[in-house]
Amino acid sequence: MNMTTQLKFTAEELAQVEELKKRYPDTKALTLPVLWMAQEKWGHISRETMEYLAEVLEQPLSHILGVVSFYTMFKTQKVGKHHIEVCTNISCMLRGSDAIVEQLRKRLGIGFGEITEDGQFSLEEVECMGSCGTAPMVSIHEEYYENLTPEQVDSLLAKLK
């Protein structure tokens, strides 16, 4: 069975898209909120999801691809239940992000771009997240954890399990 046929919004979700249309000047402007809906529903934005959303929004696939590839908040591959984004840009690096990365790798047994066997955790290296004054930092579920030490990583992971 084609994956695209499995990816469908429910009638309620399509009604939500219709409601959003009333707030925006055209369907191109709906791209971000509808991508958020899709990522919330399916966990990530696959190529098939992008094709489906292009149909729903009556926009070229190239537009959807461009938006997804521009914004790092959209995940194009499956991620763990707890997706950990680690900033390794210069401020974080200078303040010890390498020790944070090493502790995460040691504790989780995975590297960047990987998911733990139980699907609970995934790890991603990201560029500057705008928290340079409180480096090193990670983001989990859109929440920042700043001024981290390797010991704090252990307690943070324990809370997530």
Q: Where are the domains of the chain?
A: 3-70, 82-160
Res 142: pLDDT = 84
Alpha carbons 145 and 57: distance in angstroms, whole number: 36
- Is residue 9 within 8 A of residue 56, CB to CB? The reply is yes
3 state SS of 145: strand
The whole-model pTM stands at 0.75
Res 71: pLDDT = 86
Domain 3-70 has CATH 3.30.70: no
Look at residues 41, 35, 33 and name the one whose alpha carbon lies nearest to residue 8.
Answer: 41
Selection from 6-10, 71-75, 121-125 with the highest mean pLDDT: 121-125
Q: What is the mean pLDDT of the chain?
A: 92
Res 2: pLDDT = 43
Q: Which CATH architecture has domain 82-160?
A: 3-Layer(aba) Sandwich (3.40)
Sign of CA dihedral 28, 33, 36, 40: negative
Q: Give tens-digit pLDDT for 87-119.
A: 999 999 999 999 999 999 999 999 999 999 999
Look at residues 141, 144, 97 and name the one whose alpha carbon lies nearest to residue 120.
Answer: 141
CB-count exposure of residue 80 (10 Å: 0-12, 13-18, 19+): buried
Residue keyed to tokens 């499956």: 78
Q: Give tens-digit pLDDT for 118-148.
A: 999 999 999 888 999 999 999 998 899 999 9
Alpha carbons 105 and 135: distance in angstroms, whole number: 19
